[in-house]
Amino acid sequence: MLEKIIIHGGKPLNGKVKISGSKNAVLPIIVASILAEGESVIYDVPDLTDVHILKDILKELGAKITFENNVFRIDTRDVNCWEASYENINKMRASVLVMGPLLAKFNKARVAMPGGCAIGTRPIDLHLKGFESLGAKISLEQGFVSAISEERLHGGKIYLDFPSVGATENIMMAATLAEGTTVIENAAEEPEIVDLANFLNAMGASVKGAGTNVIKIIGTDKLHGAEHTVIPDRIEAGTYLIAGAVIGGNLVIENVISHHIKPVIAKLRDCGVDIEELDSSLIVRNAGNFKATDIKTMPYPGFPTDMQSVFSVLMCLAKGTSIITETVFENRFMHFDELKRMGAVIKIEGKSAVIEGVPSLSGCQVKATDLRAGAALIIAGLTCEGKTEVLDVYHVFRGYENIIDKLQGLGADIRLEV
């Protein structure tokens, strides 16, 4: 945990960078393999801390797993435990996604109530409301939440008060083995939901409407293992896009599905950044003096909350005043204190932040508070003449595969110091 990243910025980024498989698609897909009676093989799995945490959790539940060269093989025939420990849930909130598949497979699931995290309390009430509509009884005791159904789950109709990504995924997975049809209304529409649905259907499930706000799942008796290649990580792609815009040079970003980051591309073009879209790549050239703009984070297909902190670096260096409004999480502005130490001029007013562009930032010691804030601080450091040290970088390795190698390959003077 004492690792830090040392950056000597001011050097343009040139060359090609290949985007890895999506963290937020692969985590629910790996969990969904619990539903199968057999082995699944998942390709383009990014080598991330979160993937290793999930591997350990599933091994504890009885799964047999190998993970090498971005290929994740998992056989869940011997999964015999329906409980996830506090220690594991606390390592990674997304592990609450095991509830849906365990409930579907064993008619019961017991997981530690996930704590909040740096970006907000992040309750799971919508997940639990969905399980109740499928026939489960929910109880909370000793910090654990249990979902138990006396008999096989039945289909249900759920309206999500908020289009929660995790709740949509958890309910979708539970419904695949329920008796009858389930309809999720006001469902999340993120590309990661579509990728999960494609994997579930490859396993023999019947999931229709993923990517829209109404998803219909017709339950079946059993699912088999499947093979699947994970979609590219749209947030990693957006991160390198913004790096290319603020640090400049000529950057080719490969393995991108550009319509997954349409709002980010549109906003960058509003700022005057030159982006060329090829069929599976983006080319970004340094805009130099880009204009200020306003962003408001929204569920997909709106501007993604996961891009907010990285995009704010560009706004710190834009000409004029920008306003960021964060509507998805209640505490996702912590990177601003660190950026202000680098010379940014930012004023927080409730859910909004007002950013006055400055000609440049200056390197200093800063601390990552979550993985996207950490990525933002790395990009900010790459723009500065002089030295920047980013502490608590373990956050960044949760979501950005080989980020130091990738940036070094583009000409950045960046290294890890343990």
Q: Residue 120 CB, nearest distance to ligand EPZ (Å)?
A: 5
Which range binds ligand EPZ by CB under 6 A, 138-146, 159-167, 173-181, 201-209?
159-167
- Please identify, using beta-carbon distances, which residue of 124 and 318 lies nearer to ligand EPZ: 124
Q: Residue 381 CB, nearest distance to ligand EPZ (Å)?
A: 19
- Please identify, using beta-carbon distances, which residue of 105 and 395 lies nearer to ligand EPZ: 395
Burial class (CB in 10 A: 0-12, 13-18, 19+), 308: buried
Residue selected from 61, 111, 207, 371 as contacting ligand EPZ according to rule CB under 6 A: 371
Quick check: 193 and 169 in contact, CB under 8 A? yes
Secondary structure (DSSP) of 88-149 = HHHH-GGGGGGHHHHHHHHSEEEEEPP--BTTB----HHHHHHHHHTT-EEEEETTEEEEE-
Residue selected from 19, 74, 126, 261 as contacting ligand EPZ according to rule CB under 6 A: 126
Q: How many CB atoms lie within 10 A of CB 168?
A: 29
Q: Is 43 in the site for ligand EPZ (CB under 6 A)?
A: no
Q: Report how many residues bind ligand EPZ under the rule CB under 6 A.
A: 23
- Please identify, using beta-carbon distances, which residue of 30 and 246 lies nearer to ligand EPZ: 30
CA 72 to chain centre: 18
| Dihedral sign (CA 122, 398, 167, 222) | negative
The CA distance from 200 to 176, in Å, is: 8
Which amino acid, residue 5? Answer: I
**Which residue has the closest beta carbon to ligand EPZ?**
166
Pick the catalytic residue from 81, 117, 316, 384.
117
Q: Is 27 in the site for ligand EPZ (CB under 6 A)?
A: yes
Residues 66-105 as x/- pattern, contact with ligand EPZ by CB under 6 A? ----------------------------x-----------
Q: Is 196 in the site for ligand EPZ (CB under 6 A)?
A: no
Secondary structure (DSSP) of 150-170 = SSS-B--EEE-SS--HHHHHH
How does 66-87 read in b/e, with b if 16+ C-beta sit within 10 Å?
ebeebebbbbbeebeebbbbee
The CA distance from 201 to 154, in Å, is: 19
The CA distance from 370 to 348, in Å, is: 19
What backbone phi and psi angles, to 5 degrees, belong to 119? Answer: -100, 0
The CA distance from 358 to 84, in Å, is: 48
Q: Residue 46 CB, nearest distance to ligand EPZ (Å)?
A: 12
| Dihedral sign (CA 310, 311, 314, 316) | negative
Residue selected from 124, 174, 261, 318 as contacting ligand EPZ according to rule CB under 6 A: 124
Residue selected from 305, 309, 312, 322 as contacting ligand EPZ according to rule CB under 6 A: 305
Within 165-194, the residues that bind ligand EPZ by CB under 6 A are 165-167
Q: Is 31 in the site for ligand EPZ (CB under 6 A)?
A: no
Q: Residue 163 CB, nearest distance to ligand EPZ (Å)?
A: 7
Q: Is 122 in the site for ligand EPZ (CB under 6 A)?
A: yes
- Please identify, using beta-carbon distances, which residue of 306 and 392 lies nearer to ligand EPZ: 306
Burial class (CB in 10 A: 0-12, 13-18, 19+), 327: middle
Residue selected from 58, 328, 346, 404 as contacting ligand EPZ according to rule CB under 6 A: 328
CA 254 to chain centre: 19
Which range binds ligand EPZ by CB under 6 A, 69-77, 121-129, 308-316, 351-359?
121-129
Residue selected from 11, 55, 105, 127 as contacting ligand EPZ according to rule CB under 6 A: 127
Q: Is 306 in the site for ligand EPZ (CB under 6 A)?
A: yes
* Distant-in-sequence contacts of 271-275, Cβ < 8 A, 24+ apart: 271/245, 271/314, 271/318, 273/245, 275/241
Q: Is 117 a residue of the active site?
A: yes
Residue selected from 329, 333, 336, 397 as contacting ligand EPZ according to rule CB under 6 A: 329
Q: Is 248 in the site for ligand EPZ (CB under 6 A)?
A: no
Could you list the active site residues? 117
Residues at the interface with ligand EPZ (CB under 6 A): 23-24, 27, 94, 120, 122-127, 162, 164-167, 305-306, 328-329, 371-372, 399
